[in-house]
Structure 1
Amino acid sequence: MKQFLILLLLLMCNVGHAQLPNITFEHISDAEGLPSRTVERAIEDKDGFMWFGTRKTLTRYDGYTFQNIGNKWVFGVATNGKGDIYYSSAAEKLLRVDPRSMKEHVIAGFEEGGGYNTFTDSFGDVWFSDRKQVNRYCPSEKKIYVYPLKQTSFIYHKGGFVEDKQRNVWVLGMEVGLFQFDRKANKLICKMGLDCPVSGEKYQYQMHGGIIDTDQKLWIAMAFNGLMKYDIRTGKVKIYKHGKFRLLSVCEGTDELGKTILWIGAAEGLGIFRPDTEQFSFFEGLGPRPFEVHDLKLGSKSNILWVCTSEGILKYDPKNQFIKASRIQGQMPANAMLQDRSDPSGQTFWIAVAYQGLYKFNIKTNRHTFFPFPQYRNTSETRWLIQDKYNKIWVGCNQWETWQDGKSDPSDNRFEGVFHFDPVSGHYDALPFDIHHTFFSVPFYSLGMIDSKGRFWITNHYEGIHIIDAKSNIEVKLWSDGAQSNLLAGGNWIMHIFEDSRSQIWLATYQGIFLFDESARSFRRVNDKYGFMQITEGPDGNIWAVGWSGVVSLDSSGRTLKSWSGKDGLYDLECRQVVVDSSNRVWVGTFDGLHVLDEKRNHFRRFTVNDGLLSNNTMVSVLLAGDDKLLVGNLGGWNILDLKRLDKTGGSGNIRLTNVRVNNRESIADWSKPVALKSHENAVSFSFSALNFRKANDNNYSYYLEGFEKKWIDAAHAHQAFYTNLTPGQYTFHARLTGVASGSELSIPFTITPAFYQTIWFRVLSLLLVAGVVGVIYRSQLSYQKMKARLALEELEIQQKEIEHKAELVAYQLKLSEMEMSSLRSQMNPHFIFNCLNSIQFFTAQNDGERASEYLGKFSRLIRLVLENSKSDQVTLDNELETLRLYVEMESMRFSGKFQFEMHVDQHIETHAIQIPPLLLQPFVENAIWHGLMHKEAGGTVALFLNQPHDHLLRVIIQDDGIGRQKASEYKSKSATKNKSYGMKITADRIKMISQPLQVRTSVEVIDIKDRSGNALGTRVILNIPV
């Protein structure tokens, strides 16, 4: 390089401030699915997808969703002509991602500090840097070439990369210098910096991002030295210093007028540099918090600028700039607006801002002039604006300072809630009529209107309406006091007054919509379904009203035509503003966005701060300015919408497939080619995108599945299609943007292969096989029928004999069972009486006359029950339990309460309905007392549990905590205790006998209860009795 470079390097310019473009940015953060707010790099691939390197992962963005790959902090990302994605991370220096499978493969592994600034050149080589050097990976050779750089005390990555039209790669070597790659010599040639052989070129700058513009000038962002312009042909250098900002990245673009600018990313935010005026300017308030710009990327296909920051992504779309903003000082709301009729050009507007005054605004020049209120500025909340036939401006306010009574200066009362402004003189004039204590109890003038007859309507929301004649300036009465009282009854508020093209006066109130009938001097309610806030008229003469529940259209008589709410796509239901433009589009101002209704398509679009609105709250004021402009009042200013550009904001682009799921699992097949699915893979969903990165409601799609559907499906904003239970066959999925002439259509062919049993050859073979089997069966059937005829008579004779034999056997068994039951019952009853008499004998021997008498009383009742029960084969369970209770009480008296008796009957058992043989349970209880408890010194407890597992089985459990069967056998003697066991055996036989005619399985099970050491804890008897 020539020696005069020294002088050029020293020629540094201190530049002024450039005018910022009047543009809007969309902010994308983790709330929209971005995996991390810290975004380091961006790249656009060959299909138009955007890839972002973030603090947490590499992610692909299709305008709707982010698809993440890996979990590394990504410092560089690049793509080649084949669509492969390369990236560098804090862990591995270089990785490659297959965009179809989304699988990553490590090329250069771990090194402290990781890799940075990934870049692909036109030869397909991949460049990346680290803290010591820059590296070049050649995919064809699968080899990495290393180019060491001079080491300094500055620890940071050593290079960024750009390529000129001659396919020369330039290396921005951070603090080391600027290098050009000599491909033939395979080495870096120092053009400026510490490694340069010429001492005069040894200048040290902290070079970050760079670009080569259309004029082949290399622009380099330098952290502490501003912006460098380097002529790669001549080596001429010019530096534009900016002392306040540390520049990190630069990108060439254009402003809203098409003029060339350089986008500048800095540690302190985003700005521009205008090469023609050599001036910088930086934006303010673009995000919720201050941010650092890491990278700038202009999409070659979408022409969208992507700004990678520490607080997410800023997106500037030149095609979506139909909303402009005009800002004023402070954050007061622009509550009322009107178009000045005296300006034939239609460019002048008057805007009333609460607690400030009037603004005269020229929509063409975007300039305004301020006329502050002459009095009570800090307490005057503007509510309305009207212009009279003399072009004077009337401003109505809610005056938040009450009447100025007692003031020595009577002029204090001139502007209590209403201001009268002369645009010609630029002064506020006195009112032509007195309003001091005239109309309302407080100076709240909520609504104002001049009707077609020149009458001035002044309204307080909750105190009513007053009308002033324009000629006499005297109040006139158009209705009775009773009519107004009825209007305001029940706490009703008047929220808006509107006169339509037919001179009808409409009132929007909390309790519905009213029409004023002047001839009847009354107000007629025409809609009482909702609380309404505002009314307007469309070009077709229909009335539109908005309120707390949505939007309503009415005809001229007030009859409701249709209503819209949240289910129809209205995002927010607090609707306070409504206008209808010349295309019959209905604009609705809500708390959360500005909505526009296309009545023909029955579809809402929503606009927010991401589209350029100053705030999502658009309930302040909305004004239609001619046929092509819409003004929206907001906090701290107002927005201007260019309606001519509205339809041009609709989506266009080439549809791309973004995801396919088969049987609800993500498919990794190459869907750019025909895909064959198995027969069971018959549930397929397709996701697609126009990749124009517009808002979701700007794109309208349609699709259909060839081979399944006959016509296109209008999907509106939906960008997914779902199909289930598809039969085997050939299909092609089609998707396109609706209503867009340009752009390609998506076509995805695929086949669902049939299972072997669904093929034609299988069906033919199956048919032949079935025919053969039918023939064989037919011949066999003929032989069988002949044989069947011969055997029929023999079989009938045998069956007849078997029936007769079974009948005789059943009769015999029934008679035998009756005889056995009678015999057993005759044994049972004397046995029980004998035991009772033994008890009486034992008790009488105790010489206790009183207790003997009680005992004999119980015995007599027991004998009576036993005698009554012996007359029948079955008694009720109630009867049986009463008999058992008497017996146990007698035994307890005899043994002086040595044992306890518990009876537990399941509440679902109907004891009065169940029939069982008499004296069936007593022997088992008796056995528990005599064998289980008599030999236990401390006594014990006998418990009886009854439940019913099902309708035909009664389960009885008798359990004692006595000495157990083994110990009891040791105490047995030849006394009557042997008879106790005999009674239990008789009862068991009876239970078995009961089961025979009923053919029910019964059982008597005796269980020894023991502890873990084998010691006896008692005995449990389980009886299953059929009922």
Structure 2
Amino acid sequence: MKFLNLNSTKVLFKNSFASRIPNLLMQNFVYTLLYFFFYGLMSASAQNQPLKTYNKNDGLPSLHINDGVQDRTGYLWLASDKGLIQYNGNSFVNYTTKNGLISNNINVVKTKNNALLIGTDKGFSIKSHNVFNNFEGNSVNCILTVNNHTFLGTDKGIVRVREDYLSPLRTNFQIDLNKVNDIQYDGKFYWVATNKSLWRLDKLINPKTLDRIDVNNYTSIFIDDKTIVASTYNNGLKFITGKEIETQTITSQNIKGIKKINNQFWVISEDNGIEVLDANFNFKRTINKYNTLTTNKISTAFQDSGKNTWIATQDKGVYFFKNDNPTQKKPTISFENIEVVFKSIDSININDYEKTLQLPADKNHISFYYKTVDIGNSNNLEYRYTLNDQVSPWSKKSSIDLAYLSPGNYSFSAQSRIGKIESTPIEFNFFIDTPIYQKKWFIWSVIGLVILLLGSIIWLYIRRIQAKNKEKLTKLQLENHLLSLEQKALQLQMNPHFIFNVLNGIKALGNSGKSVELNTTISRFATLLRGVLHNSRQEEICLAEEITTLKNYIELEQQMNPKSFEYSIITNLTIDPEEILIPPMLIQPFVENSIKHGISSVENGKVDIHFFVKNDFLHCEITDNGIGIHQSKKLKTTSTHQSVALKVTQERIKSLSKKSTFQIDEIIENEQIKGTKVAFKIPLKTDF
């Protein structure tokens, strides 16, 4: 393949004229004529195309434009150093970090379905329904979408866009650590242009084939049929067919990329304008500040759907070349947004018109926003909508609010027109549910529920009356039982034999003339009788009073008993005994039983009484070192009065605690009986 360029043309002309006119002055004159001849041809060619410049006077927010693209609706999107710019043919709208962008310095912009993919110097953003989803990362230079995957070429390798983060790809350290300027896919291989080399990979994720095609500063890749055209920064164009590489030298330096426009190849330069090549890559003309533009600092060039050409620059804004042979085609209309009760529908694809949106009864306010963008005919657009069979008149309004809609099925359609040419209508179906209170199943359910509720109320009322009656009966029976037990306990509180023995002892002391002991015994006995009489009238007494009564009783027993014995009362309490309440005379029968039947037959008898609190219960343990409960029962030959007292007291304890908390056990050590232990617990009750 042979390539013709401007330098070779100049050389041919120079040799021809040099052979004919040896005079140097004549050569310079001829060169000047040739320069103005070519300049005139280029200027005439450029003047044939209507040219318009968009800058700050036209509302363009920035003069530094890096990239541009047109979405499916028709909006033009420009990537600038001051944010993302939208153009609808009439006005510019600027999106910046205040609107949610990750950065205002945007390098590249692409479209994918209804979303806009934005590469910035601080990472990546996705714009969907005026909402930006941002991903922080390195500066993004190019974007490729293949098979529902999005890949980014950054200043440090290739990055894959995941659901909520950017995932760097590990391919080769010479790719991963260098600046990736472009990525393209030819259907079989991925082509990666870095600032150091050109690469070919079978896959970007875990590649098996990884070929370095050439070493150079590659800036862009263009796939032309089966030929890969790659631009280098200062070494012209490279053509790769199979494994063969062919170089074409061009006049422009500092090349940023190559675009195909109107079956021509436009080589974009950062500071040399645009060099246009024909379909065979032969030089055709230049577009620069000397013939067409006012600057040579070009960022990119692209065409819109109307075959109009846009040139983005780094310091003069955007140039617009209108199509020489425009054909008025049918306008295209699309939904920009659909809102239900002023909230955008982001969970569905608003262009999927075959689906029917199901709405509850209270979501009966729906708004439609539709748009046709035609850069050259933006002032001639009109719209109308149809709701079921109702058709609106044509107007400039491109939205409608439908409030307080009745339940039922709805079919909404919108249409636009330019002059008399109408667009194909777009449709959206939705259904508003009937209020639940108007549904038959709900009405019958309510009736059934009311009947069931009334029946349940009546049944519960009868059950409650029966439960109350049963509870009253049980309470009366318990009260009668407790009253009977208390009466029996009062009758059995003090052993008549004990009183008789005390009185006999007092008489003996008096006869023997032991006045001191006589007075002490009478005083103690009087205190005991007074305490018993006082406590018998109370339902509850404090533990301190019970302990005092026990001490008086035991000390009298010590005086009256022919055999001496010891006793101890231990209180391990976290509460003052004055504040703990117990039924009166609850401990005395067990102590009396230990003295009369436990230690009466042993020498050096001992009775220990222990009070302690545990788990909201008052525990009491009476321990003696007597002959044991079973042996004492065998030795009983007289009155059973004391046994009746013990039985009554046990029933009192069980009635108080509602649990089986009473037990009497013999103390056995080395298979010998060492005494008896009585233990019980009652619910802890205090007077505060």
TM-score bracket, shorter-length normalisation: 0.3 to 0.5
Relative contact order higher in (CA < 8 Å, ≥ 6 apart): 2
**TM-score, normalised via structure 1 length:** 0.34
Which entry has the higher C-alpha Rg, 1 or 2? 2
**TM-score, normalised via structure 2 length:** 0.46
